[in-house]
Amino acid sequence: MAHPSSSSHRDESDPAVAVDRAAADDAELRVLRAVAEGTAQSTGETYFDLLVTNLAHAMDVAHALVTEFTEDRRHVRTLAFWGDGGVQPDFEYALTGTPCERVLSGQPCHHPCDVQALYPDDAMLGDLNIESYLGVPLFDSRRNVLGHLAVCDTRPMPPEQRNLLVFRIFADRAATELERLQTMSEEAAAILQVHAAVGSHLNRDQLFGAIAAQLERLIDTAIFGIELPVEGNKLQGHVLARRDAPGAPTTPTILPRDGTVCHWVMEHREWFVAPSRESLRRRFPVTYSVMERRGMESLCAVPLVTGDRTRGALFFMASDRDAYRHLRWTTVSQIAGAVAVALDDCLAHEEVNRLRDRLAAENVYLRQEIGQEHDFKEMIGGSAAMRDVLTNVTHVAPTDSTVLILGETGTGKELVARAIHEHSRRSERPLIKVNCAALPASLVESELFGHEKGAFTGATARRMGRFALADGGTIFLDEIAEMPLDVQVKLLRVLQEHEFEAVGSMHTQRVNVRVIAATNRDLARAVHDGAFRGDLYYRLNVFPIRMPPLRDRAGDVPLLARRFAARFASRCGKSIDAIDAASVRRLAAYAWPGNVRELENIIERAVILAPSGQPLVITEEMLGPVPTDRGPRADATIGRTHGAGSLRDVERDHIRHTLELCGWVVDGPHGAATRLQVKPSTLRSRMKMLGIGRPGRDPA
C-alpha cells in the first residue's frame, strides 16, 4: 500500500531545518501538555471522553476515537467518539476493509491524505468526508491488542507523523485504563460466579471442591487452601488444590496455632502478603517450615469473616518470589467474603446436624434406660397397693390422658412415669423430665418454654424449651407443686390449647405433648392455701395414681432388697446370693421415712462393704434407730382428711423429727437431707421458713 510522503531529503545542517524541527518539537510539547492537563484527574469512562475531546482540540482534527474489541474480535465498539463539535454516542462497526483493521492487527497506521481511495469499501469514511487518518493499537500488559486510538480529519495531515510519539504516549495511557476497567469487570463477574458456585453447598467436601474449581480459574497459584480453628489452640489445614497434583485427594493436617500467618490474619482481620519465604522465618516459623517443606517461596493469606465471626483463613502459595504483587485487596477480599459466607453456612449446617444427632442419641439412650432399668419388672411388689398401681398404669398408658402421680418422696413416682411413657403410643418419641423444684423461679419459664436471643440478661442465643423438645412425646413435671404461679398460667394454656410462646417471642408454637405430673405435696390443700391454681389442679388431676409408702407394703421390702442386692453385687463384681435372716427382719421392722430410695441406698452401701460369697448383712448402724413413734408427715396428708394441724405444722413436725433422728446433722450420707431426699440447701431454706432450730440455738 502506497503512502504519500516527501521524496526529498533536506540537509540536517541547514539552519532552516533546525528551526523547523524546533517548531515541530514545540508543537508536540503543546499537544502533550494540552492532552495531559485535560485528562490528568479523570479515570474510567470519563477519561476516554476527555481524551478524545482534548486530543481533537490539541491536534486540530475533526474526529478522534478510542475503541475496544468486541467478543468476536471482528468488530470494535467505541469507548468515546469526538465529532461535530462534541462527544457522540458509542457505536460498533466491522473492521474488514477499514484502516482500523491494520491498526488492530498490532501496527500503527498513518495516511496523510486520500484515505477514501485506499479504503473504498469503508462507507463511514465517505459519510464523514474523511481525508486523512492516524491510528495506533492499545496493548495490555501482556502485549495483547485491546483496541485502538485514532484521529481523522477532513484535511490532509502532515506526512512526517510529527505527533506520533505523543499519540503513542496517550495510547499507552488509554490501554492501561482500559485494561483496568476490563479487569474490574472480569473480577466482578468472577466474584458473582464464586457466589453462585459456592453458595449452594452445605456439605464440606462439596463446598471445598466448588471453591477449588473457582479459585483455580481466578488466581494463578501453586497451592491454595483453607485453615480452620479447632480445639486445643490449633488449626486444621485443608489443601484444596495443587498445581503439581490436580484432583489428588489431600488429608487435613493439624498445626499449632501460634507461629502461623493464618492465625495472624484471623486475629487481626487483615490480609497478609509475603514476597519471600525468608521474610517469615522469625515471625511465623510454623508457616515458614510448611513452605520450606513444600518448596513454596511466596504466600498470601486472607481472613474469612462473616459479621463478628472469623471462620478461618484462605491461603495461597507460589514457588516464585513476589508472586502476588499484582493481587488487589478489593478483589481478594470480595472472593474471601463469598467463601466466608458459604463456609459459615456449611459449618452452621454441620453444627445443626451434630446437635440433631446428639439429640437422637440422647433419645435412644433414654429409651434404652427405660427399657433396661425402669421396665415394669423393676416395679416390684406383690402387695395389694402395688397391684393397684400396676393396674392403673396398664389402663392409662395407651391413652393420651394427663396423669398425676401422688406419693411421698422416694416411692418411685418417676419410675411409674417412665413405665407409662414406655407402654404408650409415644414410646418412640422422647420422655423429657423437668424437676420444677430444682430450677430457680426466674428460670422455670425459660426452661419449659424456651427463650429468644436477648429476651433477658444472659440470653445470648435462642434456646429451645422442654415442651418443644418433647413435641410428639411425653413431658414429666416432677414436684409440680413447686412451680411458680405465673408459670402455672402458661402450663394451663398448654394443657388446654396445646400452644405457648417462648420468652421474648411473639410467635406462637403448637405442640403435641402428653403431660405426666408428680408431687409429694397435697395439691388440694395447696389450692385451698392459694399456693396452686385450682383450674390447673383439675386439669392435672384427670387420672391420679397414688404411690403407697414403703411402710404400707412391708411385705415387698424383702423382694426389693434382694433385687437391689443382686443389681449392686453385679455392678461391684461380687457374689451375694442372699440376705441373712436377721437383716431381713431388721429391714421389715424399719419405718422407711425415705421409702424405696432409702432402701436402695442402704442396700448399695451394704453391698459395697460386704465380702463376696457371703450373705448380705444389714446392721443397726446402717439403718439408725428404729422409730417407735413415726410422728406426723407432710406426705401422709395426701388424699386424706386433714386433722387439726395445718400442712405447715405437719411439715414442721416431720422435718424436726427427722433432724432429731439424725442428731441434727443436715449434710452427709447419714444427714437429714439424705433421709428426706432433698438438697441440704433446700432443707436449710425450709427450716428457716418454718422456724426450725436446734434446741438451745437460733433457728437455722
Q: Rounded CA gap, 188 and 87, in Å? A: 28
3-class secondary-structure state, position 151 = strand
pLDDT, mean of residues 108-130: 91
Report if residue 559 sits inside a domain: no
pLDDT class of 330 with cuts at 50, 70, 90: confident
Q: Give the cell for residue 54.
A: 482534548
Note whether 250 and 308 are same-domain residues.
yes
Cβ atoms of residues 392 and 516 within 8 Å:
no
Q: What does the pLDDT read at residue 532?
A: 92
Cβ atoms of residues 263 and 235 within 8 Å:
yes
pLDDT class of 198 with cuts at 50, 70, 90: low
pLDDT class of 354 with cuts at 50, 70, 90: low
pLDDT class of 194 with cuts at 50, 70, 90: low
Q: What does the pLDDT read at residue 426?
A: 93
Cβ atoms of residues 61 and 151 within 8 Å:
yes
Q: Rounded CA gap, 447 and 466, in Å? A: 6
Comparison of pLDDT for 224 and 117, the residue scoring more: 117
Q: Comparing C-alpha atoms, which of 470, 546, 481 is closest to residue 514?
A: 470
Q: What DSSP element (H or E) covers 534? A: helix 534-540
Give pLDDT tens digits for 453-511: 877 877 777 788 889 888 899 999 999 999 999 899 999 999 999 999 888 877 778 89
Note whether 379 and 289 are same-domain residues.
no
Report if residue 229 sits inside a domain: yes
Give pLDDT tens digits for 314-325: 898 999 999 888
Does the pLDDT value for residue 250 go beyond 90?
no
pLDDT class of 196 with cuts at 50, 70, 90: low
Report if residue 574 sits inside a domain: no
Cβ atoms of residues 427 and 367 within 8 Å:
yes
> Longest C-alpha distance within the chain, in Å?
145
Q: What does the pLDDT read at residue 191?
A: 67
Does the pLDDT value for residue 244 go beyond 60?
yes
The residue type found at 372 is: Q
Pairing mode, strands 474-478 and 75-83: unpaired
Report if residue 10 sits inside a domain: no
Give pLDDT tens digits for 366-408: 555 555 444 455 567 778 888 889 899 999 999 999 999 999 8
Q: What does the pLDDT read at residue 63?
A: 94
Report if residue 48 sits inside a domain: yes
Does the pLDDT value for residue 87 go beyond 70?
yes
pLDDT, mean of residues 66-93: 90
Does the pLDDT value for residue 11 go beyond 60?
no
Does the pLDDT value for residue 279 go beyond 90?
yes
pLDDT, mean of residues 58-86: 89
Does the pLDDT value for residue 636 go beyond 60?
no
Note whether 239 and 162 are same-domain residues.
no
Note whether 175 and 223 are same-domain residues.
no
Work out the percent of the chain whose per-residue pLDDT is above 90: 27
End position of a domain, from candidates 152, 185, 218: 185
Report if residue 457 sits inside a domain: yes
Note whether 296 and 410 are same-domain residues.
no
pLDDT, mean of residues 207-235: 79
Q: Residue 395 is part of a domain; what is its CATH number?
A: 3.40.50.300
pLDDT, mean of residues 561-574: 86
Note whether 430 and 318 are same-domain residues.
no
Does the pLDDT value for residue 239 go beyond 90?
no
Does the pLDDT value for residue 357 go beyond 60?
no
Note whether 246 and 131 are same-domain residues.
no
Give pLDDT tens digits for 663-692: 788 887 767 887 777 788 888 888 888 888
Report if residue 427 sits inside a domain: yes
pLDDT class of 268 with cuts at 50, 70, 90: very high
Note whether 127 and 217 are same-domain residues.
no
Does the pLDDT value for residue 365 go beyond 60?
no
Does the pLDDT value for residue 155 go beyond 70?
yes
| Average model confidence (pLDDT) across the chain | 80
pLDDT, mean of residues 532-549: 93
Work out the percent of the chain whose per-residue pLDDT is above 70: 81
Count of domains forming the chain = 4
pLDDT class of 637 with cuts at 50, 70, 90: very low
pTM of the complete model beyond 0.85: no
Give pLDDT tens digits for 584-611: 888 888 888 888 888 888 888 888 888 8
Q: Give the cell for residue 667.
A: 449434710
pLDDT class of 638 with cuts at 50, 70, 90: very low
Least confident of 16-20, 155-159, 283-287: 16-20
Q: Give the cell for residue 261.
A: 500467618
Note whether 215 and 143 are same-domain residues.
no
Report if residue 616 sits inside a domain: no
Note whether 253 and 307 are same-domain residues.
yes
Does the pLDDT value for residue 640 go beyond 60?
no
Residues contacting 175, CB < 8 A, separation 6+: 138, 139, 140, 146, 147
Q: What does the pLDDT read at residue 580?
A: 86
Comparison of pLDDT for 452 and 184, the residue scoring more: 452
End position of a domain, from candidates 525, 546, 567: 546
End position of a domain, from candidates 493, 519, 546: 546
Cβ atoms of residues 507 and 368 within 8 Å:
no
Q: Is the dihedral of CA 617, 622, 628, 630 positive or negative?
A: negative
Q: What DSSP element (H or E) covers 148? A: strand 145-153
pLDDT class of 535 with cuts at 50, 70, 90: very high
For residue 283, what are the domain limits? 199-349
Q: What does the pLDDT read at residue 13?
A: 46
Q: What DSSP element (H or E) covers 255? A: strand 253-256
Give pLDDT tens digits for 423-446: 999 998 888 899 988 888 778 888
pLDDT, mean of residues 138-155: 90
Residues contacting 90, CB < 8 A, separation 6+: 77, 78, 79, 80, 81
Note whether 171 and 273 are same-domain residues.
no
Q: Rounded CA gap, 427 and 365, in Å? A: 13
Note whether 315 and 409 are same-domain residues.
no
Q: Residue 122 is part of a domain; what is its CATH number?
A: 3.30.450.40
In whole angstroms, what separates CA 249 from the centre of its chain? 26
